[in-house]
Structure 1
Amino acid sequence: MNNEEILEKINQILVEEFEVDNEVIEANNNLKESLDLDSLDYIDLVVLVESNFGVKLVEADFRELVTFQNFYDLIERKMSKN
């Protein structure tokens, strides 16, 4: 899966599963503010990412995330290790 496919898949998950408006999903937008997810939503997001991308996410991974681009980069890094 290339970078663009990862980005498209993540955005599709956010739109379909979390009902996020496509317009707020911009690489430099603040992830937490834009998504307005609660702790249970983050658990759902982790499960969806793990099942769709075959990567394992831990709590520490989310501490460094600020923007959507950070999130895309995280998934890419995790996938490249597999």
Structure 2
Amino acid sequence: MERKEIEEKVREFLIDDLEIEEDKIAPAAKLKDDLGIDSLDFVDIVVIVEKKFGFKIKPEEMAGITTLEEFCDYIQSKVG
């Protein structure tokens, strides 16, 4: 899967499923501070990523991820 496709799918579920405003979504956006993603949203993200990308997120692997770009890097490393 290409990076552009990953970014588009992530953007799509952030807007549609988590109701994040489109203008807030940028590679450098911080997941918690800028996008307002909290622990309940994270549970949704785990389910969505499993459905859209076909792998399970391990919480310990997500520990150091703070920006949207790092999140997309993580997904890309899994679906490569």
TM-score range normalised by the length of the shorter chain: over 0.9
What CA deviation, in whole Å up to 9, does each residue of 1:40-81 have, x standing for no partner?
22111111001100012111122111110000000000112x
Question: Any unmatched runs of 5+ in structure 2?
Answer: none
- Per the normalisation by structure 1, the TM-score is 0.90
Cα 1:25–1:45 change in 2 (3 A) is same
Q: Which moved more, 1:54-63 or 1:12-21?
A: 54-63
- Per the normalisation by structure 2, the TM-score is 0.92
Question: Structure 1 stretches (4+) deviating beyond 3 angstroms?
Answer: none
Letter in 2 for 1:18: L
In the aligned structure 1, how far is the partner of 2:67 from the partner of 2:38?
Answer: 17
Residue 52 of structure 1 corresponds to 52
Q: CA RMSD in A?
A: 1.0
Structure in which a larger fraction of residues adopt helix: 1
Count of aligned positions: 80
